Structure 1
Amino acid sequence: MANSEISEIKRLFTSRLDVLDHILSVGEAHFADMEATLQERLAEDMLPLGTQVAFACNQPRSFAQWCAGEAVANLSAEVDSLAMARAHIAQTKELVAGIAVDDRKLDEIKRVGLGPGKYCELPARQYLNDLVIPNLYFHITTAYAILRKLGAPVGKADFMTYLMPHVMEEA
């Protein structure tokens, strides 16, 4: 993978983590008790907002740790404060900034656990494109949807803040 491809992956991870932080800020401005809000769910059988934050962070974290040859250490699903959520995002962005990987590493087969007794083995590029990035979006989208369902004034522009510097208005 060329340096430009790694730079793009790092930009994608960082900008999407910024989106997550932004939508949490909108929630913070709207709700008096964000700690209670972090326990809210989109549906009864889905995980709460705080866990969505942790799981969103776990995606780029696991990729960064794997690239560094480290054991993947996922964040705890228990995120009970906005300070903890923001610390997870900041720490994840630090890990992302340190990603350095070459083509040989990305040609390796990555074993991915999929729950008790289940796994798959994928080439690292496929692991990144078919698991890490979609899961990152899934958990950020779910966090957004929880806040939206609760009445936070978030919209598509909040979800796509990374695009705003490129938006122009016609005369």
Structure 2
Amino acid sequence: MENQKIAALKNIFSSRLDTLSHLLDIAESHFAEDVESLLQSRIASDMLPFSTQIAFACNQPRNFALWCSGQSANNLNPDVASLVEARGHISSTQELLASINVADSKLLELNRIEFGQGLYVELSGLAYVDDFLMPNFYFHIATAYNILRMAGAPIGKRDFMMHLVPSIKHQSDA
């Protein structure tokens, strides 16, 4: 039985993936003639390209869902070749999120994250979410947003904060 914290996490991941999908819609309409260049765009030469930011953003909720179901982490291929493939990553991640059905007590379990070269960290489920998944998730979404902005896409904070749009009110409505 799913509880409030797990449900809230699913909602956060899902609504922000909707934002990422919205950003892809803008990318497609603004860069229709040169999507391939956009997919390879970077903020700095030592940073990963737009296409990889999409895959890495999806990896966080994806691996959360897999962990909740007792499965090992399984990162997506970072070499995203098209917006269709990027949308597929978002869609498959949304499906995994929807399949989560565990109690909040899952967040008390220990999770080991392997970094390679013999390095790892063990975190409680809550620390795994708060200190590892969420910072990485927002980093890659913000980086994708910033690459689009730098490339000239007509986006602003509203496009990044899409999850708040349904809650926005006008003072005259009060």
Q: What band does the TM-score fall into relative to the shorter chain? A: over 0.9
Q: Is the 8 A contact 1:39 1:80 kept in 2?
A: no
| Structure 1 runs, 4 residues or longer, greater than 4 Å off | none
Determine the C-alpha separation between the residues in 2 that align with 1:26 and 1:138: 19
Letter in 2 for 1:33: D
What amino acid is the match of 2:92? Q
Matched, 1:16 2:16: yes
Where does structure 1 lack aligned partners over 5 or more consecutive residues?
Answer: none
Distance 1:2 1:37 in 2: 39
Matches within 5 A, 1:133-144: 133-144=134-145
Counterpart residue number, 1:45: 46
Q: Let me know the Cα RMSD of the aligned residues.
A: 1.4
**Secondary structure, aligned partner of 1:138:** helix
Shift of 1:100: 1.7
* Unaligned stretches of 5+ residues in structure 2: none
Change (3 A) 1:104 1:166: closer
Q: What is aligned with 1:107?
A: 108
Question: Aligned in 2, Cα 1:86/1:2: closer, same or farther, shift over 3 Å?
Answer: closer
State the 1:115 CA deviation. 4.2
Paired residues, number: 171
Q: Deviations over 1:147-166 (max 9, x none)?
A: 00000011000000110111
State the Cα deviation string for residues 25-72 of structure 1 (Å, max 9, x = none): 111111122122111111100000010000000000001001111121
Distance 2:80 2:58 in 1: 12
Contact 2:2 2:101 in 1 (8 A): no
Task: Indicate the SS of the match to 1:114.
Answer: strand
Q: Please list, as runs of the form range in 1=range in 2, the aligned pairs for 1:26-65 lying within 5 A after superposition.
A: 26-31=26-31, 32-65=33-66
Aligned: 1:125 with 2:126 = yes
> In percent, how many aligned pairs have the same letter?
52
Q: Is the 8 A contact 1:50 1:80 kept in 2?
A: yes
